[in-house]
Structure 1
Amino acid sequence: MNECVISEINHAISRIERAKSSKAVLGGLRRCLAEYGFSQCLITGLPAPDDQHWHRQILCDGWSEEWHARYSEQGHYFHDPCAGESRRTGGAFFWSELEREHMAPRGLLVMEEAREFGMNEGVCVPIHARHFGPAVVTAAGEFVGLPSTTLPIIEAVCRYAYRKVCVLEELVRHEQRPVLTPREREILQWISAGKGAEDIACILNISRYTVETHLRNIREKLDVINAAHAVAEGLRRHEIQI
């Protein structure tokens, strides 16, 4: 993984890690996302699309008051294409990636009205954690031109912020026992330093195949889908250090 990407992830996560409240987590997340042009964000559970009490699952509300009021008054949650896609998929996506030609009229209305409130582009980071219903961290702002390398950063930081809030709100246990072997922690520490599988193989004098096997085991144990998520989760669990 690119060393600059890892550095940005570590910097953002270190700010969120120091947060003592959900409000402080939201503030740290917003500062991080502002660097990429996002001005608003939300951390929320995703109940069934016909749940009239969907508001109760909002963990951190960083939407503007005007948009939140409009969204609620118009019942947009029940037709929100981003919420629907987040229930179905596990990977982060930009709003612009949604296929508008397949949206229902009410779904299109949600997206068009979001633009009227200055949210021309957004990103959704779906969360599908064990023993929990689906959730999402989503952010939006005016025109956002981002290189492809930024999505792993945004995704890793949003996932970290979500889990930090869950700990602070006592939705999950604060302390978690280490699950990685010493070799796996060593490899993940090198990944966090920006080293690739080939580099790590040379440093540790093992084969690249062995490194990749360890990385696969790390992803499975930490329940993550890529290296950026593994680093974020490893830091959160104190398996590795910044």
Structure 2
Amino acid sequence: MSLAYLNALLGARTIEELWSLHIRKMSEYGFHRLLYGFTRFRTANSFGANEDLVVLSNHCSDYVQAFIDRELYKTAPMVRWAAENEGVCSWRVLQDLRANGVLSPDEESVIEFNKSMGIVAGITISFRDVSARSKGAIGLVGRPDLDQDAVDSIWDSYGQELLVMNEVMHLKVQNLPYGSKRPTLTPRQREVLEWVGEGKTTQDIGTILGVTQATVEKHLRLAREALDVDTTTQAVLKAWFQNQIYWTKP
């Protein structure tokens, strides 16, 4: 395993830099397409709103649009496995599930869609949950010339180092600001939310910033709208989850 690569991952300043490094490194092992997803808004029945998902991929735009925007992931067998488990799973399990006839028509449809896009052999890693609301996973897709036997052989030889590299990538993602389909907060909105996170009242914040209490309340209202939440407490938590704000007392 390359310590230089791990150091480069840890030193990445942006999601884009991190993801570019990871794509190149995984391709060295024969995994030419990656799809990573992470949420801090999981419920018993969903991963939260699509707009709040962190999704990183080097699949073609047609695939990402269908799988994410059209929500095929909701009936994807390996996504279901990742939601219910932690660890590593070879896609060979799909052959067993199909052979036993336990897949739903929607799940079968996702498998056929993947096959039509050349996605037939791979490995799924479901990362350890940091809370009941969080879930992260990545699908590593083998090159077109590799069948599942070849992919499994790669994992048998290099699985431990591949797992470590993917876990480091996953942990690093959680410490970098990421873009969202929702509007990002302005510097002033971030500032007032950080002061709220420190336990300050709107009157306190107005005094600190030298503005009126009404101005502070306006910034908080706009922050709630940008984050699509109902309360300021929810706004603080969501902005913190998205790494848009930081404060000293979690």
TM-score (norm 1): 0.59
Q: SS of the residue aligned with 1:86? A: helix
Cα contact 1:123–1:138 (8 A) shared by 2: yes
Query: Which region of structure 1 is more displaced relative to structure 2, 26-35 or 106-115?
Result: 106-115
- Equivalence for 2:162: 154
The one of 65, 74, 77 aligned to 1:78: 74
The one of 165, 176, 185 aligned to 1:168: 176
Give the Cα–Cα distance (whole angstroms) in 1 for the partners of residues 79 and 56 of structure 2: 16
Give the Cα–Cα distance (whole angstroms) in 1 for the partners of residues 171 and 31 of structure 2: 20
> Which aligned pairs between 1:1-242 and structure 2 lie closer than 5 A?
8-45=1-38, 47=42, 50=46, 53-72=49-68, 74-98=70-94, 99-101=96-98, 102-131=102-131, 132-141=133-142, 142-144=144-146, 145-146=150-151, 147=153, 148-169=156-177
Q: CA deviation at 1:113?
A: 1.1
Cα contact 1:9–1:157 (8 A) shared by 2: no
Cα contact 2:50–2:69 (8 A) shared by 1: no
Q: CA deviation at 1:52?
A: 6.9
Cα contact 1:90–1:127 (8 A) shared by 2: yes
Cα contact 2:123–2:140 (8 A) shared by 1: yes
TM-score (norm 2): 0.58
Q: CA deviation at 1:59?
A: 4.2
Report sequence identity in percent: 13
The 1:51–1:9 alpha-carbon spacing in structure 2 relative to 1, beyond 3 Å, is same
Q: SS of the residue aligned with 1:63? A: coil
Give the Cα–Cα distance (whole angstroms) in 2 for the partners of residues 133 and 164 of structure 1: 15
Give the Cα–Cα distance (whole angstroms) in 1 for the partners of residues 51 and 2 of structure 2: 30
Gaps of 5+ in 2: 179-250
Query: Which region of structure 1 is more displaced relative to structure 2, 79-88 or 8-17?
Result: 8-17
Give the Cα–Cα distance (whole angstroms) in 1 for the partners of residues 129 and 15 of structure 2: 19
- Equivalence for 2:183: none
CA deviations on 1:103-136 (whole Å, 9 max, x unpaired) are 2121121122112112121221111232351211
Cα contact 1:44–1:57 (8 A) shared by 2: yes
Letter of the 1:104 partner, please give it: S
Cα contact 1:114–1:120 (8 A) shared by 2: yes
Q: SS of the residue aligned with 1:129? A: coil
Give the Cα–Cα distance (whole angstroms) in 1 for the partners of residues 48 and 82 of structure 2: 19
The 1:55–1:112 alpha-carbon spacing in structure 2 relative to 1, beyond 3 Å, is farther
The number of residue pairs the alignment matches comes to 163
Letter of the 2:28 partner, please give it: E
Q: CA deviation at 1:163?
A: 0.7
Give the Cα–Cα distance (whole angstroms) in 1 for the partners of residues 75 and 26 of structure 2: 26
Higher RCO, Cα 8 Å, sep 6+: 1
Letter of the 1:86 partner, please give it: A
Root mean square deviation, CA, Å: 2.4
CA deviations on 1:149-194 (whole Å, 9 max, x unpaired) are 2222222111110111111239xxxxxxxxxxxxxxxxxxxxxxxx
Letter of the 2:75 partner, please give it: H
CA deviations on 1:48-102 (whole Å, 9 max, x unpaired) are 5545723521242333211012224653122011111011211111222333322
The 1:38–1:80 alpha-carbon spacing in structure 2 relative to 1, beyond 3 Å, is same
The 1:88–1:66 alpha-carbon spacing in structure 2 relative to 1, beyond 3 Å, is same
Give the Cα–Cα distance (whole angstroms) in 1 for the partners of residues 109 and 86 of structure 2: 25
Between structure 1 and structure 2, the one with the greater Rg is 2
